[in-house]
A and B are shown apart, each in its own frame.
Chain A
C-alpha cells in the first residue's frame, strides 16, 4: 500500500473551545488508484489531506493520534527536514484556487524551475528547460514563450494546468488534489480532469481527489470515502456506492441530486445543518439529521461496520439502509 492513514485525530484550538476536525479517519491508496474523499465544508476532508502533506497549521492545529504510513514509514515520526524531502518530491498537492496558490511576482517558469533547483540541485538554466518541458506535458500552448509570463497572464484553466505541472515536476508517487476543478467552468473542468486522469495513468500515481461533487467522483474515482463531522461514514468501490449506498448520509446526498422524473416535485433534502465541530452530537454525529435514527444512534458511536470485504459503513442500521 502506498499510503495508509490509520485512526487519525486532529483538533484545532479556537477561542470558543476545541474543534474536533478529524476524529479517527483511516483510509488507504495504492499506486495507480484514485480515492475520492467526498464531504461538505467542515467534514475534515481537507484537514486530513493537510495532515498527510504535513502542511497543517500547528498551532492552532494539533494531531492528537494516529499514524500516516507512506511507503511503510510513519510520516508523523519523521523530523521536519526529513518530512520536507518527502513533500514535493514523493507526494504533491494541487489546490483549489490556483491564483492564490501561485506566487504573483515570480514568472511561472521560475516557480516550476524552483522545484528542480531546490530538490535536484539543478542550475537555473537546466531548471528553465525542465519548466518548458513540463508546460508542454500539461499542454500549455506556446510553452517556450509563455514560460516567462506571470500567473495573472494565464486563464483559470491554464493556471490550474500550471499547478498540475508543478505537482508532477518531481514525479511523485502520490498526488493530493483538493477540489482541483471547483473554481473552473464546466467545459474547462472537463479538460483539466481528463488531463489529470491521463497523467495519473501514465505515471501510475496514487491520487487522492478531495471534492464535494458527486458527478466528478463518478467520472474518475476507483474508491470513495464519504466524510461527515471528521469521520469516514462510508467507504466503498465507486460502483457499489452509487448503486446502493450503505449510509443514510450518502443516500441523502445522492437523493438530493435533481433527477428528471422529479421535475416539478420537491427535491429530497437532508434536513437540518452540518454539525458544529465544537459540539459534535453524541452517538452517531449524523443522528439529528438522519431519517432512520433510533435510540441507539443517540448514545453509541457506530464503528465502521464491514459491509463486504471492500466496503464499510459507520451506521448501526447499514443493512436496513442498503436494502431500504
Chain B
C-alpha cells in the first residue's frame, strides 16, 4: 500500500427533513452517506461504483468541500480537513480538485475557455502571477490535447468530449495532488469515452495524481482503478483490489451488480448466470434495519434484520489469505464467480494494429 494521501473515516451526510414554516421541526433525515471509510494512496486510483442514490456523488462533494459532512473525518496527509477553516482550508482545497460529470452544464457558457481554465488562479493567485496566466492556460490546453489557440473560444464551440477536456484542464490548473472525478465519461459518446479515459490515465502518470474515480460503468472502473469500493444506500459494502472485487466478490450486492451488466458477447447470452434483484433501492429516508441490502437480498436471513454487518474481512476468510479475503459487509459472505472468465469472441486476430493511426502514440 502506498503512503496514504486521503483517509476517510466514518463519513456521514444527513440532510434534515423539516415540517412547518415558522417552527421548523425535524421529522427525519435523508441519510445520503451513512458511514463511509476508505483510504486513498498516493498515485493510486480508487474506483467507487454504485447505483443512483447510493451516495457516491455526495462523497465526492464532501471530499472537495462542496458539502460539509454531518460527522466523520477526511484527513489529507494526516490533517483533518473537516476541522479547518480560512487560510488553512483554502490551502488544502487547492490540492483536491474535481472533474464534473456533465460537460454541458459545468462550464459557464458566457466565459471563454481561457477564463474558465484560468479562474482557479483568481482564487489562488500564488500559483500563477497575473502576467503568466495566459501562458499557463495554453500549456494546460496542450496537456489535455486541445489546440492552445482555442483559448478565446466559448464552450458551445466544442463537442462533448472536448468540453470534458476543458473541465479536466480546469481541474489541473492548480496542480492538485488529488482529483475527484464524478462520472467523468458517462455523458460522452462511446467512441469518445475511450479518448478521455486514456487522457486521465496519461495525466496520472505525468503529474503523479491520485484519483477518486466515481462511475456506474463497471468495466471502465475496472480498467482505470487499482482498488474498487462498491456503495449501496450510503455505505461501502465491499472494497478491495480490482481483482478481488471483480473476480472474487463475496457480497451479494456486488455479485448481483456484476452479473447484471450486459456482456458485449452474444455467445455469453446462454451460459451466463444472472442474479436479477427484485424491487428497487429503498428510500434513504427510511433505511432498513440491520443490513441495508436485506430487502433485496437473495440470501437474507432473520439475523440480517437485527445485526448491522460491519465492513471487515468476513470471518470465513480470515484464516486463509487469498483474493476472497477482503472487507465485505455481509453476515453470509461467500465467494461466487459471476463474471465468466474472459472470453473474447474475436480472439487475437482482431486486435487493432499496434501502430494504427487510431492509437495515440
Contacts and interface: CB of A to CB of B under 8 A. Distances in A.
Interface string B142-167: 00000000000000000101100000
A256 interface: yes
A155 B358 contact: no
Contact of A186 (B51, B162, B269): B51
Contact of B194 (A244, A267, A274, A291): A267
Interface in A211-225: 212-219, 221
A126 B19 CA distance: 41
Interface in A239-295: 239, 242-245, 251-263, 266-271, 273-274, 289, 291
A157 B360 CA distance: 40
Contact of B266 (A193, A218, A263): A218
Nearest to B195: A269
Contact of A219 (B195, B201, B262, B351): B262
B262 A215 contact: yes
B194 A219 contact: no
A194 B259 CA distance: 13
Interface string B274-315: 101110110000000000000000000000000000000000
A55 B344 CA distance: 40
A242 B345 contact: yes
Contacts of B264: 214-215, 217-218, 242, 254, 257
Nearest to B279: A141
What secondary structure prevails in chain A residues at the interface with B?
helix
Contacts of A267: 194, 197-198, 223
A191 B267 contact: no
Contacts of A300: none
Given A185-B216, A218-B262, A219-B269, A270 B191 contact: yes
B195 to A, nearest CB: 4
Given A252-B358, A268-B352, A242 B191 contact: no
A185 B53 CA distance: 10
Nearest to A240: B266
A188 B1 CA distance: 36
Interface in A1-52: 40-41
Nearest to B159: A273
A56 interface: no
Nearest to B219: A258
B261 A215 contact: yes
A255 B352 contact: yes
B276 A194 contact: yes
A190 interface: yes
Contacts of A194: 276
A324 interface: yes
B209 to A, nearest CB: 16
B194 A157 contact: no
A251 to B, nearest CB: 7
Interface residues of A, number: 54
Nearest to A266: B198
Interface of B is mostly: loop
Size range of the interface on B? 35 or more
Nearest to B54: A185
Contact of B359 (A188, A253, A257, A268): A268
A238 interface: yes
A259 B343 CA distance: 10
Contacts of B195: 269-271
A251 B280 contact: no
A185 B262 contact: no
A8 B284 CA distance: 49
A273 B161 CA distance: 8
Q: Which of the listed residues A194, A213, A268 has the most CB atoms from chain B within 10 Å of its own CB?
A: A268
A85 B280 CA distance: 36
Contact of A218 (B268, B342, B346): B268
Given A187-B277, A218-B266, A259-B342, A291 B353 contact: yes
Given A40-B189, A185-B52, A218-B262, A263 B242 contact: yes
Given A263-B242, A291-B358, A190 B260 contact: yes
Nearest to A239: B266
Contact of A269 (B191, B265, B349): B191
A269 B262 CA distance: 21
Contacts of B281: 185
Contact of B358 (A188, A190, A216, A271): A271
B352 A291 contact: yes
A291 B51 contact: no
A253 B262 contact: no
Interface string B207-225: 0000000001011101100
8 smallest CB-CB distances across A and B, nearest first, come from: A215-B262, A258-B223, A185-B51, A269-B194, A256-B194, A190-B260, A40-B189, A291-B356
